[in-house]
Amino acid sequence: MDTTIEKVIHLQRIEMFADIPSEQMAHVAGIARDVHFEKGDVIFSEGDSSDALYILIDGDVKVTRENKMTRRIDKDEAFGIWGFFDRGPRLFTTETLEDSYLLKIDSADFFDLIEDRVHLSRGLIKYLVSKIRQLIEETDILV
pLDDT digits (tens, 9 = 90+) for 36-57: 999 999 999 999 999 999 999 9
Paired strand residues for 98 = 60
Q: Where are the domains of the chain?
A: 4-139
Residue 143, pLDDT > 50, answer no
Is 133 in a helix, a strand, or coil? helix
pLDDT, position 81: 86
Question: CB-based contacts of 2: which residues, under 8 Å, 6+ apart?
Answer: none
Is 124 in a helix, a strand, or coil? helix
Q: pLDDT tens for residues 3-22?
A: 888 999 898 888 888 777 88
Q: Which CATH architecture has domain 4-139?
A: Sandwich (2.60)
Is 25 in a helix, a strand, or coil? helix
Average pLDDT over residues 24-43: 93
